Amino acid sequence: MEGQVRSFFLEDRGDIPNNQHLPVIFYQGVFDDGLNMEAAFARHNWTNSWTGDIYDYHHYHSNTHEVLGVKSGKATLLLGGDDGERLELDAGDVIVLPAGTGHKKLESNFDFEVIGAYPNGMSHNLRERDPHGRAESLDEIQNVPVPDMDPVYGEDGPLRHKWVK
């Protein structure tokens, strides 16, 4: 596993809370195939995995963090809301989204597929832009614990150094 790792924060957009304490982490080109990716996630206790696509509308999870690994194909995602960060993803790339991070797929090629998983096998909720549920979502996001392990590198991974509350 090799590749570049970068992280960045996303602002609270009002309608999409994002996460003010934990950055998005982007691991570029760290896996050669989806089997190794899913096995690494499971080995590092990011489970309750699924394989499929990413919704084409802004959504977020207020009760858990999420890892998305590109099993095949390529796509462009928009993170953080309408004025957020565009991210080009290719097979072998992984992104870790802290609880509250808005995300949606803008476009993809025909064979785009991701593997998603959650720390400690959490079951995720699905939140959309809703000003009425904002206070509840912010409270939930604040109470999501930092995972014990980085989904890609385990105990010594960048998540353990970048995600400190």
Looking at the DSSP bridge assignments, the partners of residue 28 are 4
Is this structure's pTM higher than 0.85? yes
Domain boundaries, the chain: 4-160
User: What does the block give as tokens for 72?
Assistant: 């095949």
The string of pLDDT tens digits covering residues 3-24 is 799 999 999 988 899 999 999 9
Instruction: Evaluate if residue 37 carries a pLDDT over 70.
Output: yes
The string of pLDDT tens digits covering residues 45-69 is 999 999 999 999 999 999 999 999 9
Domain range 4-160, its CATH number among 2.60.120.10, 3.30.70.20, 3.40.50.720, 3.40.50.2300: 2.60.120.10
Other Cβ atoms less than 10 A from the Cβ of 116: the count is 19
